Amino acid sequence: MSTLQTEHVYKVFGRRPDDAVRALESGTGRDELRADGTTAAVIDASFDVKPGQIFVVMGLSGSGKSTLLRMLNGLLEPTSGRILFGGQDLTALSAREMRRVRSTKISMVFQHFALFPHRNVLENAGYGLAVQGVPRAERDRRAAEALALCGLEGWENSWPDELSGGMQQRVGLARALATDADLLLMDESFSALDPLIRRDMQDQLLELQKRFKKTIVFITHDLNEAMRIGDAVAVMRDGRIVQQGTAEDILTRPADDYVAAFVQDVDRSRVLTADAVMTSPARSDADGCDCPTVTADTPLADLCAVSARVPHAVDVTGTDGAVVGSVAQDRLVAFIGDEQRAPVRCTEVAA
Ligand SMILES: Nc1ncnc2c1ncn2[C@@H]1O[C@H](COP(=O)(O)OP(=O)(O)OP(=O)(O)O)[C@@H](O)[C@H]1O
């Protein structure tokens, strides 16, 4: 299992890109360069993604997400900076070596499924293995296993156009899992799906990730999706990562006005958990009562439902059942509401 690291990565399109990087390093603005016909698509991107982590890159159109992803899978060469995966410097590899790394260690899941219409579901799921030269029998076995994990057992002999959009994307996910690649790059993978199916896919990814602990970079422009699935989230603006941290960090401590405006509409009751709002030590006013409690990872929406039924602050318990903190109802309401909106009543959220 390998860590992905990027160190001061730049990508500049246009004439004299190296000069442009030096100019950016010494403080020249992106707009100044653009006046000269040069686009700084990614500027000084540094981050680490550990095995088992989902690192979400989020930003508006044109902020540099796809360019960053294309550098991670070796389709674009950085103008400057290094990309390391499992300690291996991908930016130092020859095109041939990079192709090998791409076919064995990296899997992509695209927005538009990218299934072959004239191959059945099993063949589509086994495509990455075919590229690796894995013999037919083993390929089919591993592809069938991956399909089953993605909830598509029994669909092996169907054609892609017989499947719904959500099912087609499951085939895409199965294809990525079948290869055993450690690094999964997901480019707006769920963006074309209906909201409910999209949520299902997010849940499925989180479930699979618990088991496989891949190193995942997930690109999205959807803030709620980022907050829901990201262990770490990077917000990009005009080529730069303007903030990276947990969803809670970004929601509760936005780095600047841009991030604050960006996160204004997120449904905090589903993103934040008891951990973010509890105070410790635990309250002292109800020793020994039998009221329901929550754990640190309980979403605020569920915490509100409990809070509405409890006449005092809700206790938060650790894995051993001991009380580690508590959440008073007024604190909960203060967190879920904000200056821009009327405070939400816990009972409304619970409903
Ligand atoms: N091959 C290229 N040549 C010149 N400019 C490019 C090239 N590829 C991307 N750009 C520019 O780089 C900037 C970042 O584009 P990029 O596609 O990475 O953003 P994005 O955040 O992925 O946007 P979207 O969500 O719309 O795909 C944009 O200004 C884009 O026009």
DSSP string, 6-57: EEEEEEEESS-HHHHHHHHHTT--HHHHHHTT-EEEEEEEEEEE-TT-EEEE
In the chain, CATH 3.40.50.300 covers: 4-265
Cα–Cα distance, 288 to 268 (Å, whole number) = 31
Would you call 184 helix, strand, or coil by DSSP? strand
Spatial distance between the Cα atoms of 235 and 166, rounded to a whole number of angstroms: 27
The minimum-distance atom of ligand 1 relative to the CA of 11 is 12
212 alpha carbon – ligand 1 mean position (Å): 32
Q: pTM, whole model, 2 decimals?
A: 0.83
- Which token pair is 269? 């009751």
What's the 13 CA to ligand 1 centre distance in angstroms? 9
Strands 215-220 and 54-59: parallel
**Strands across the sheet with 80-85, in order?**
39-49, 4-13, 80-85, 88-89
Burial (CB count <10 Å: 0-12, 13-18, 19+), residue 32: middle
Provide the 8-state DSSP code for 153: T
Strands, E assignment, 68-145: 80-85, 88-89, 106-109
**Candidate from 10, 34, 39, 69 with most ligand 1 atoms within 8 A of CB, to mutate:** 39
Of 66, 68, 72, 75, the residue with max ligand 1 atoms within 8 A of its CB, to mutate for a pocket test, comes to 66
Please state, in angstroms and rounded to a whole number, the distance separating the CA atoms of residues 335 and 266.
12
ipTM: 0.97
Q: Whose CA is nearest to atom 13 of ligand 1?
A: 41
| pLDDT reported for residue 351 | 44
CATH 3.90.1280.20 intervals, the chain: 270-350
10-residue averages of pLDDT along the chain (351 residues): 90 93 92 88 96 93 93 93 93 90 87 85 93 92 91 92 89 89 91 82 87 91 87 95 92 90 83 83 65 89 90 88 87 67 49 44
- For the CA of 70, the nearest atom of ligand 1: 18
Tell which one of 10, 13, 217 to mutate to probe ligand 1, the residue whose CB is within 8 A of the most ligand atoms: 13
How far are the Cα atoms of 1, 127, 177, 224 from residue 105, in angstroms, in the given order?
10, 15, 11, 29
Return the CATH number of the domain spanning residue range 270-350: 3.90.1280.20
Which CATH superfamily hosts domain 4-265?
A: P-loop containing nucleotide triphosphate hydrolases (3.40.50.300)
pLDDT of residue 348: 52
Asked if 27 contacts 236 with a C-beta cutoff of 8 angstroms, the reply is no
Contacts of 300 (CB under 8 A, 6+ apart): 268, 269, 270, 272, 273, 274, 276, 277, 332, 335, 336, 349
